[in-house]
A and B are shown apart, each in its own frame.
Chain A
Amino acid sequence: MAGKTLAEKIIGEHAANGSVSSGEVVIVKVDYAFSHDASGPLLINQLSRFKGDAFSGSLNKERTIFFIDHAVPPPTKELSNDQEIVRQFAMGNGLVLSDAGNGICHQVMAEDYAAPGNLIVGTDSHTCTSGGLCAFSTGMGATDIAVAMRLRKTWLRVPETIKVNLEGNAPRGVYAKDMILKALSILGTDGATYKSLEFHGSAIDEMDVYGRLTLANMAVEAGAKTGLIKSDERTRNYLEEFHRVEQWREMASDENAVYESEISFDVSELEPQVALPGSPDNVKPVSQARGAKVNEVFIGSCTNTRIEDMRIVAQIFKNHKKAKGLKLIVTPSSQKVYLGCMREGILDTIIEAGALVTPAGCGVCFGALGGIPADNDVIFSSSNRNFPGRTGNPKAQTYLGSPATAAATAINGCISDPREFL
């Protein structure tokens, strides 16, 4: 009998029949359903269309979470009103509220909630981030999540899986972000539509969870439903660090699992990668992009800016200042990361380098606040998307790369190889 992929295993555990194969459409139990201030008001409106109490019955209120993370603190009265709708709804129904400043939903899910084998749905395309902890997690719209909150289940087509093999040891200055950008350059922005990406190889064995979260986060940039990585000792160590080791379980796909296709590359030969403006699959090695003038650097987003990223950024900024006239904006992904940066002296280093540090949240990645560029600005961002207009001004251009490459770029004022500073 054919073995199971991680997607088939986790979905199977949540489906009535217990065993599923790719291509089947199934109804699954949901472990966590969440929303945020950008989609929450629409979701709450959809829930209000149901007759009776939306949260009656035996729903897991402690597993229904509302985050206020997209526009914090609110820059307009309209957004403040939207956040109040979300805040009052969550508190009024006894649901979990992760209030403004606590952090980006995906980072907080990874810190406090997601565990191996979970099935998680949220009103945000980067919900797939928790795949780095071996949770089948996927983004949907407000209506789907409203129904998932009410019924505690959703329907899914069990995805085919593309196996992504990352072999070798990452050289100095090369991180998970560079690996996923390289994978995107192979897959393209629709190369994994409706599919699951499953990451394998010796580079994964050697990668801590923070890097795995970065890989899983950008699975959606290839159109994927989710990106999954096995749960091993490194997953256990991570959960232990966040005081929930009892939620750990080992999980891996079967040896004889069936994959739709495979891509492979050797990370030991990789150099830092940069996505050129327009699309996250338009990727070149830094050597082919270096020297391009940049006047805003954003270090933030659910893709990066975990504490491990911030340590690397501080290492690069040590005894350096940002280029004159360049806007350097640093947005920690969560309050825990922010506090960690403070305790470890990282904040001192990046502020002394000239950074404007904002509260934890989505920041300018989303284009509603937090450093919206001027006309003709060129941004280098550690985030996940550089579609036209993404950062709030369609007349600006955005490059993507690792936090390390972003930091080196901020110092020189042009796209730079971080290995120069490591």
Chain B
Amino acid sequence: MSGRAWKFKDNISTDEICPGRYMSLRSNLPELAKHTLEDARKEFPLEVRKGDFVVGGKNFGMGSSREHAPIIIKMCGVRAVLAQSFARIFYRNSINIGLPAIICDTSLISEGDELELDLGKSYVTNLTKGTEILFPKMSKTMEAILQEGGLIPYVEKYGDLLLA
């Protein structure tokens, strides 16, 4: 299944992904998700479709540790977030809730490109440009957590944290 690329600039903060002014909606995630990334691109929450990709630049997800940020991106139906690099907490949070966060060369992707992700083989196919973007395998710990669909199912399955 392919999806469209939504391009974002470098240094997108979690304040832009999930603004603090909507704090009252944090226990109403479907409503909160209607504001996903609206401070960065107003049309995003209105027009994003299931299977689309969020494509960032450097340091995607910097700032606040709010896990609501990757959660509402996932609730929008986003297949994966691709970026040149991620801020530490956002990266960890994404994997913990089962949203693939992929570090790859996003300069090879343009706005609206049709993309397809093969997590197991570690590449993104750019159907529009007819190219493949390989990405390094994520750490074994992260891979194991993502494989179980997130940290809670992982701990439920193994009963503990294990080093993969």
Interface residues of A (CB under 8 A from B): 25-27, 38-39, 41-42, 46, 49-51, 70-71, 75-76, 78-79, 81-82, 85, 123-125, 127, 139-144, 146-147, 150-151, 153-155, 157, 189-190, 193-194, 223, 225, 279, 366-368, 372, 385, 387-390, 392-394
Contacts and interface: CB of A to CB of B under 8 A. Distances in A.
Contacts of A78: 24-25, 27-28
A141 B92 contact: yes
Best-surrounded residue of B19, B20, B87, B139 (most CB of chain A within 10 A): B20
Contact of B97 (A143, A153, A223): A143
B100 to A, nearest CB: 16
A85 B27 CA distance: 10
A25 B65 contact: no
Interface in B133-155: 139, 141, 150-152, 155
A151 B34 CA distance: 34
Given A139-B65, A157-B139, A223-B62, 5 more contacts: A27-B163, A50-B152, A146-B152, A367-B15, A368-B24
Contacts of B59: 189-190, 193, 223
Interface string B26-60: 11100000000001000000000000000000110
A225 B97 CA distance: 20
The listed residue with most B CB atoms (<10 A of its CB), out of A42, A81, A139, A157, is A42
The interface centre, meaning the residue of A27, A71, A78, A190 with most chain B CB atoms within 10 A of its CB, is A190
Q: Which DSSP category, helix, strand, loop or mixed, fits chain A's interface?
A: loop
Interface string B57-74: 011001111111001000
Contact of A385 (B63, B67, B71, B93): B63
Nearest first, the 6 closest Cβ-Cβ pairs linking A and B are A367-B20, A141-B67, A141-B93, A190-B59, A368-B23, A78-B24
B49 to A, nearest CB: 25
A153 B161 contact: yes
A142 B151 CA distance: 11
Contacts of B24: 75-76, 78-79, 368
14 contacts: A25-B139, A38-B26, A39-B65, A41-B26, A46-B152, A49-B152, A82-B26, A143-B97, A144-B92, A193-B88, A367-B19, A367-B20, A387-B15, A390-B13
Nearest to B159: A151
Given A25-B141, A389-B15, A42 B20 contact: no
B85 interface: yes
A247 B39 CA distance: 45
B15 A124 contact: no
Contacts of B19: 367, 389, 392, 394
A85 to B, nearest CB: 8
Contact of B92 (A51, A140, A368): A140
B63 A125 contact: yes
Interface in B75-93: 85, 87-89, 92-93
A157 B87 CA distance: 14
Contacts of A372: 21
B141 A155 contact: yes
Given A223-B62, A393-B21, A51 B161 contact: no
A49 B149 CA distance: 13
A87 B26 CA distance: 17
Contacts of A146: 152
B25 A141 contact: no
Contacts of B151: 143-144, 147
B96 interface: yes
Contact of A189 (B11, B26, B141, B150): B11
A41 B28 CA distance: 11
Contact of B20 (A27, A143, A154, A390): A390
A113 B20 CA distance: 27
A279 B23 contact: no
A50 B62 CA distance: 29
A41 B85 CA distance: 29
Contacts of B96: 141, 143-144
B11 A389 contact: no
Tell which of A127, A154, A157, A387 has the most Cβ of chain B within 10 Å.
A387
B27 A155 contact: no
Contact of A190 (B23, B26, B87): B87
A27 B16 CA distance: 32
A39 B96 CA distance: 15
B118 interface: no
A190 B39 contact: no
Contact of A79 (B23, B67, B68): B23
Contacts of A51: 156
A49 B25 CA distance: 21
A385 B151 CA distance: 29
Nearest to B23: A368
A385 B15 contact: yes
A144 B97 CA distance: 10
A19 to B, nearest CB: 16
B113 to A, nearest CB: 25
B67 A155 contact: no
A368 B65 contact: no
B58 to A, nearest CB: 6
B16 A223 contact: no
B63 A38 contact: no
Contact of B150 (A41, A143, A190): A143
